[in-house]
Amino acid sequence: MAELSSHFDIAAIGMACALGYLDLRHPDLDWRSANPQLAGGISRSQRPSMLAMMPKV
């Protein structure tokens, strides 16, 4: 998932938003344990601009 860290384009933004939605609304799916490389890539690609837009739950 080095691609997510090195390329921050609309595809990476869309993927981060979709997976963030799963974390927020469907935590029971636990996609992170089934996809550790993807989860690590998403965690490394979090930028201040993305973190600022996260919903306050």
Q: What is the pTM of this model?
A: 0.71
Domain assignment present for residue 16? The answer is: yes
Domain assignment present for residue 17? The answer is: yes
Domain assignment present for residue 18? The answer is: yes
Range of the domain at 30: 2-52
Which tens digits make up the pLDDT trace of 11-55?
A: 888 888 899 899 989 999 999 999 998 888 777 667 888 888 877
Distance CA 35, CA 19 (A): 11
Domain assignment present for residue 57? The answer is: no
- The number of distinct structural domains making up the chain is 1
**56 — pLDDT class (breaks 50, 70, 90):** confident
Domain assignment present for residue 7? The answer is: yes
